C-alpha cells in the first residue's frame, strides 16, 4: 500500500522547486493531487512534465490564493471533482533580500499577503472541508523563521508568522482530528538559489555539516512523512530539513 493511497491533496506553489517535488512525491504514493500555481502557463508546464506517468491523477489551477473568494471557489471545485480534501500543503511563497533602508511598503505587503494571508486562507477553507473526517495541513516555513536573516526582514517575519499559525492551528484543530505541521528547509537547490552568485552560496554550503545543500526531494520526503499516517501523533511541529546547517 502506498503511503497516501486515495488521498486528495492540494499543493500551492506546486509548479516548481519544492512544491513540484512534493506534488510528484505525493503522486508516486497514490494521492490525487491538485497543484496550484500563479499563472495558467506555469501550471500547464508543470502538468506537461508530469505526463511521464499516465497513472498520475493530477490537475492544475491558478487561483489568487491571497483572495478568500477565489480560494473558496477553487477548493469547492476540488471537492466537486474528488468528493473531499485530505491534505493541504501551503507551499507558495516569495522571499526578499532588501535592506530595511530600501524596503518599500508595497514590497513588504506583497510578502505578507502571499506568505501569511494565503496560508490563512487555504488553511481556513481546507479545514472547513476536513472537519468531518479529519485531515492534514502542512506549511512551508524556513530556517530563517528560527534565526532571522541579515536583510529582507519581511521574509523571516512572515515565516515566524507561519510557525505561529502552525502551532496555534494544531492546538485549535486537534479536536477535529486535523493535524498541522510545518517543514523549515535550509539551503535547498532551487531556481531561487541558482540565481544567487557562487561567492554567496559557497560559504553557506561549506558551513553545512552534512556537506551539501538540500534537494527539493529532501523536503518533499518530509512532507510525505508528515502527510502520512506514520505521523498520526505529530502535530504542531516545525521540522527542520537543513543538514544541521543551523542547529
Contact (CB, 8 A) for 119 and 88: no
* Rounded Cα–Cα distance for residues 147 and 165 (Å): 18
* Rounded Cα–Cα distance for residues 4 and 24 (Å): 12
Phi, psi values for residue 59, rounded to 5°: -130, 165
Q: What is the maximum span of the chain, computed from C-alpha positions, in angstroms?
A: 54
Question: Helix (H, G, I), strand (E, B), or coil: what is residue 145?
Answer: helix
Instruction: Give 82's contacts (C-beta < 8 A, 6+ positions apart).
Output: 8, 32
Instruction: Give 223's contacts (C-beta < 8 A, 6+ positions apart).
Output: 22, 25, 26, 89, 138, 183
Name the residues annotated as catalytic. 155
| β-pair partners for 240 | 184
Amino acid at each position: 500500500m502506498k503511503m497516501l493511497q486515495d488521498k486528495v491533496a492540494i499543493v500551492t506553489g506546486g509548479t516548481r522547486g519544492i512544491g513540484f517535488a512534493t506534488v510528484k512525491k505525493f503522486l508516486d504514493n497514490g494521492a490525487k493531487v491538485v497543484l496550484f500555481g500563479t499563472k495558467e502557463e506555469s501550471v500547464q508546464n508543470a502538468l506537461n512534465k508530469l505526463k511521464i506517468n499516465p497513472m498520475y491523477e493530477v490537475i492544475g489551477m491558478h487561483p489568487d490564493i491571497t483572495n478568500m473568494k477565489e480560494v473558496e471557489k477553487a477548493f469547492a471545485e476540488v471537492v466537486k471533482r474528488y468528493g473531499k480534501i485530505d491534505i493541504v500543503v501551503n507551499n507558495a511563497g516569495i522571499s526578499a533580500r532588501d535592506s530595511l533602508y530600501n524596503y518599500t511598503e508595497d514590497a513588504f505587503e506583497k510578502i505578507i499577503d502571499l506568505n501569511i494571508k494565503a496560508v490563512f486562507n487555504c488553511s481556513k477553507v481546507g479545514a472547513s472541508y476536513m472537519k468531518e473526517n479529519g485531515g492534514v495541513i502542512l506549511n512551508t516555513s524556513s530556517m530563517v523563521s528560527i534565526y532571522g536573516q541579515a536583510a529582507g526582514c519581511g521574509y523571516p517575519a512572515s515565516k515566524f508568522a507561519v510557525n505561529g499559525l502552525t502551532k496555534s492551528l494544531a492546538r485549535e484543530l486537534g479536536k477535529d482530528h486535523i493535524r498541522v505541521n510545518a517543514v523549515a528547509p535550509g539551503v535547498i537547490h532551487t531556481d531561487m538559489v541558482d540565481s544567487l552568485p557562487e561567492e554567496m552560496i559557497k560559504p553557506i554550503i561549506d558551513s553545512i555539516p552534512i556537506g551539501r545543500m538540500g534537494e527539493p526531494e529532501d523536503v518533499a520526503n518530509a512532507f510525505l512523512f508528515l502527510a502520512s499516517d506514520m505521523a498520526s501523533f505529530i502535530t504542531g511541529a516545525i521540522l527542520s530539513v537543513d543538514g544541521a546547517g543551523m542547529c
